[in-house]
Structure 1
Amino acid sequence: MALIIFTSLFVIVIILLYIYLKRSYSSSPDDLPGVKPHIFFGNLVNSGILTGKSTFAQVMFDYQRRFGDKFQFWLGSHRCLVFCRMEHAQTIFADHHTFEQSPLFLPNFDLFCPNGITMLTGARWKRHIRVLLPMLKRAKIIGHLDTIVECADRFIDQNLHPGQVHRDLISCCQSFTMNVIGLIGFNSDFDIHVNLPIKKAIQDILFYIPLLMMTPWIPRWLAKIYLKCNWKYQRAYRLTQEFGEKLIEEEQNKQIGMEDERPNNLIASMVSSLNEQANDEDVSSGLTRSEIFDEVLTMMLAAYETTSTVLLWFIFFASKNPQVQQRMKDELREHHLLMTDDLTCVPPLTPDNLASLTYCECVTKEVLRLAPIGDLTTRMAVRDTIVDDVMVHRDQTLFIALHNINTDGRYWLHGDSRKFAPERFLAEDQNHHPLAMNSFGGGHRACIGQELAWLELKTIIVRMMQRGVKFEDASENIGDYDERITFFPTNLAVRVRFD
């Protein structure tokens, strides 16, 4: 009898759960168009994202073609509204009282860095930005130009070998960007101070982050158990934490007796703000030790994964467009910045002569416009509102399809808007709307590291051209998308020569 009762109750629970889920995923007449979702998986399976047949960037293009500039996309159990016009982005970014960062910006990332600035909102975000932003403004970053040039020279000398086809540039570009953030942000030479186990630990953490980001239907408690019981992840996190603690401790020792000196890099700014009683009631109360570690880890992951991706896309675009490389070198020659026959003498780069390189600036812009580093950004409504006649309810997540906007022919008039053409910034698109090119997000939650990323990219592009580096296309250099946290070019293979 007890077995019959238990079985009946179990069946009833299953039926009620099915009805609840069916109603949750069912559409209403007011919904935006989109593809019917699967229970638990949403549109991740039927779009091909979860099976690896498509990437988010490709799906956003496909859905816009099928459904227009406004549609819905189910990320697991989350119904997200997707907006693809520049005007939508302008409305959403401008209203920071209504739209805040969404947890789906990096799903489950808070399992790894709960105190990282990308995941924070409200008073806590203000407390963190107060410490970090002063060190990342352009006036402060430009003072590190010589350091970036030094890292660029090291990248060229160690990784670019004339006559060889290079197929392993991902790790090389990651090492370059890690060295830059290490020297500029933490006053530490990662080539010397970061041993192979630490680098492997960071790679392991980067394996698990996209793994859990792409499985938003998994309950958080189950994801936490998975990470807790995964010895490989735990070892990687422990090694990375020990390294972060070492950076903090070294900076604390440096600041003994130097309390009156102003911080000159990120780690100095964070350590000088160290306060275990920091709280959101007082936005100037500083950061706790655990918050500092999470910010160190966030900065390292950002350097390792995002900025390095843009550099890889430049190498890909350059290999497909030799005329662009030649035009950059012609501009450098006009400014007497090209390396001469004296191979030991490379003209120095200064903020002034770097700013004078107009065409090189156009190339940098075009790489950032076309490279699908972050194909979308997110916002969450903190109250009911309306965007372009679409009712947005409180706690609703919005996707702004940045890559769609960046390549939209309605805003880019020079030739094919999806083709690599730096000269567009000297022609019809010279005075494009600022939000038509939106690689770093916008509004109060735009990427705080964009000035560093911009300077870093332009500097290494110019330095490689200065030193006569030439990238040639190889047969397997297909340029498709390899989706991780960002989008790498698939099977990047280029032959390197020196003029």
Structure 2
Amino acid sequence: MFEIQFSTPLILCILIPLFFFILSKLSKKNQQSSTSTTTPLPKSYPIIGSFLSLIENKDRFAQWTSDILLSTPNLTFTLHWGFGRRYIFTANPSNVEHVLKSNFDNYEKGQAFNSTMRDFLGNGIFNTDGDKWKFQRQVAVHEFNTRSLRKFVETVVDSEISDRLIPMLERAACDRNVLNLQDVLQRFGFDNICKIAFGYDPGLLTPSLPDAEFTAAFENAMRFSTRRFNAITPYSWKIKRALNIGSEKQLRNYINQVRGFSRQIIKEKKQNGGYTESVDLLSRFLSSGEVDEELAIDIVISVILAGRDTTSSALSWFFWLVSKNPDVEMKLMEEIKEISKDDHELGYDEVKGMVYTHASLCESMRLHPPVPVDAKAAVKDDVLPDGTKVRKGERVMYHPYAMGRVEKVWGRDWAEFRPERWLEREEGDQGKWRFVNKDSYTYPVFQAGPRICLGKEMSFLQMKKIVAAVLRRYRVVPALEGGKEPVMRMSLTARMQDGFPVRIEHRN
């Protein structure tokens, strides 16, 4: 979302000469500051703010802003984005709690976000505030908490694992092929979330690894929508939208495909007897009588957007960390063998008992949160608990990636992958671990407060089932050239830049 792109030639004609002038005058000062042992606050210039620093660090935005935050005394700094825009970054748990809970009503998605994403997300739950959001949240909470949905999700996940994921990994193990595990997990995630949301199966994880039309349209609609955030000024994409030209014309076509497909799904459900026999989310919302067809589509598109990449991102980094920590892998195997006595896919209660696996996933997401940076906009002027002033309309960017690296919170060994930091021994029983949750404002990987992620339990259910199914059969061995660490590239989620090439080896 925060990659910087040049999209307006007229603006470039004005700014490029200014850039070269500033660089020629201040290059020596910049070189001196770059040799500092700590990451300095980025320099800010008239009009363009810290745009030069943003350009320089566009490929490592989360890491760069994290380094700055960790070098500040109160874990907060203000970035001058340019053209009068200020973004306040924070890794301070008190500030995060203030924004996400204590002063919740003053911090919203905000008009800038709403208008940028409205064409794609409509009035869905992830793109609304106030009463509209509260109403959708109440409807969604009811549906997500039903036992029948949990059973449906469990069935969908088990089917995708046994019928597609395991056969694909088995072929790779037998043929000794290198597999892009990140791509495989993304396909798994999209198949899953589409079945849960629509009752539709894209079949992306079938042996031919196809690209379904709906999937491509959804991917492109998301990509072109988020490009709007990267524009130097919002006027550029709004002008193109009004004229229906360039990237905005393409975006409109992709959105029409996504929404047209959704309407066709609804039409087919009506022809097949309505929604009462179906348990997917679209059918649930429509049969409840609480929402009309267009709003149901908005909500489901938001659900797909939230679920399509977050789980695959979390699991890609998890399997990489496990491969580098054989002691953790051994303990995971001990737990999996104890719980799964035979080859059946684990049920809900069995998965719930995977305490060490749960801790390992939390520890992995501490180091590599699927959404490294998130934001809220101030409705009116405010002061954060650490004294930072926030003006009306300014965005406060809370930073889970940086928060997982705060030494005062996680200790001097914060850089180590150590699931035990989430566990303690049960009193009187030295053989059992008990999971110890962290304050959600210190660990806001699933957000926190009233907007905490509705799919959190669903995500853990899915991830633990995948981990158990894969690790009890196979070893995942990274095949990165020279044993390099994957490079994180941030868009909406933290992906591995060049995928995650692995070799799959039989466990026995």
Q: 1:204 to 1:53 in 2, by over 3 A?
A: closer
Q: State the match for 2:118 in structure 1.
A: 110
Q: State the match for 2:258 in structure 1.
A: 240
Contact kept in structure 1, 2:348 and 2:461, CA below 8 Å: no
Q: Secondary structure at the match of 2:65?
A: helix
Q: State the match for 2:197 in structure 1.
A: 185
Report the CA distance between 1:118 and its aligned residue. 1.2
Q: 1:400 to 1:107 in 2, by over 3 A?
A: farther
Counterpart of 1:102 in structure 2: which amino acid? Answer: G
Contact kept in structure 2, 1:440 and 1:450, CA below 8 Å: yes
Q: State the match for 1:484 in structure 2.
A: 491
List structure 1 segments (4+ residues) > 6 angstroms apart after TM superposition.
Answer: 192-195
Q: State the match for 1:349 in structure 2.
A: 346
| Alignment of 1:405 onto 2:379 | no
Correspondences of 1:57-456 after superposition (within 5 Å) = 57-65=63-71, 68-77=74-83, 78-95=85-102, 96-103=104-111, 108-137=116-145, 139=147, 141-143=149-151, 144-153=153-162, 154-159=164-169, 161-162=172-173, 164=176, 166-191=178-203, 196-215=212-231, 217-219=233-235, 220-225=237-242, 228-230=245-247, 232-254=250-272, 256=274, 264-273=279-288, 286-335=290-339, 337=340, 346-388=343-385, 389-413=387-411, 416-426=413-423, 430=436, 432-456=438-462
Q: Percent identity?
A: 19
Q: 1:65 to 1:140 in 2, by over 3 A?
A: farther
Q: Mean alpha-carbon deviation: is it higher for 127-136 or for 173-182?
A: 127-136
Alpha-carbon separation, structure 2, partners of 1:156 and 1:104: 43
Report the CA distance between 1:439 and its aligned residue. 0.5
Q: 1:135 to 1:223 in 2, by over 3 A?
A: farther
Alpha-carbon separation, structure 2, partners of 1:227 and 1:373: 34
Report the CA distance between 1:228 and its aligned residue. 4.9
Alpha-carbon separation, structure 2, partners of 1:226 and 1:419: 52
Correspondences of 1:46-65 after superposition (within 5 Å) = 46-48=53-55, 52-65=58-71
Report the CA distance between 1:66 and its aligned residue. 5.1
Give a deviation string over 1:38-67, Cα, whole Å, max 9, x none.
567543541346x64422343233344157
Counterpart of 1:221 in structure 2: which amino acid? Answer: K
Q: Secondary structure at the match of 1:312?
A: helix
Alpha-carbon separation, structure 1, partners of 2:253 and 2:42: 41
Q: State the match for 1:282 in structure 2.
A: none
Q: 1:262 to 1:493 in 2, by over 3 A?
A: closer
Structure 1 length-normalised TM: 0.79
Give a deviation string over 1:409-442, Cα, whole Å, max 9, x none.
22223x5213322222125994643432220111
Give a deviation string over 1:158-185, Cα, whole Å, max 9, x none.
2551163535333321221112112222
Give a deviation string over 1:234-288, Cα, whole Å, max 9, x none.
44333322221122223334554x7xx59733111222256xxxxxxxxxxx334
Contact kept in structure 1, 2:358 and 2:460, CA below 8 Å: no
Q: State the match for 1:35 in structure 2.
A: 42
Q: State the match for 2:431 in structure 1.
A: none
Alpha-carbon separation, structure 1, partners of 2:226 and 2:501: 24
Alpha-carbon separation, structure 1, partners of 2:363 and 2:436: 12
Alpha-carbon separation, structure 2, partners of 1:93 and 1:237: 31
Counterpart of 1:304 in structure 2: which amino acid? Answer: R
Report the CA distance between 1:331 and its aligned residue. 1.4
Q: 1:405 to 1:361 in 2, by over 3 A?
A: same
Report the CA distance between 1:133 and its aligned residue. 2.5
Alpha-carbon separation, structure 1, partners of 2:464 and 2:243: 41
Report the CA distance between 1:372 and its aligned residue. 3.0
Contact kept in structure 2, 1:212 and 1:223, CA below 8 Å: no
Of residues 469, 484, 490, the one that matches 2:474 is 469
Q: Secondary structure at the match of 2:71?
A: helix
Counterpart of 1:204 in structure 2: which amino acid? Answer: N
Report the CA distance between 1:121 and its aligned residue. 0.4
Contact kept in structure 2, 1:43 and 1:76, CA below 8 Å: yes
Structure 2 length-normalised TM: 0.78
Q: Secondary structure at the match of 2:392?
A: coil
Q: 1:418 to 1:128 in 2, by over 3 A?
A: same
Gaps of 5+ in 1: 1-13, 19-32, 275-285, 340-345
* Number of residue pairs the alignment of both structures matches: 445
Alpha-carbon separation, structure 1, partners of 2:58 and 2:443: 28
Q: State the match for 2:8 in structure 1.
A: none
Counterpart of 1:123 in structure 2: which amino acid? Answer: D
Counterpart of 1:271 in structure 2: which amino acid? Answer: L
Q: State the match for 2:504 in structure 1.
A: 496
Contact kept in structure 2, 1:114 and 1:294, CA below 8 Å: yes
Contact kept in structure 2, 1:135 and 1:265, CA below 8 Å: no
Contact kept in structure 2, 1:72 and 1:81, CA below 8 Å: yes
Give a deviation string over 1:370-390, Cα, whole Å, max 9, x none.
223212222223233321223
Report the CA distance between 1:72 and its aligned residue. 0.5
Q: 1:226 to 1:354 in 2, by over 3 A?
A: farther
Contact kept in structure 1, 2:149 and 2:280, CA below 8 Å: no
Alpha-carbon separation, structure 2, partners of 1:113 and 1:329: 41
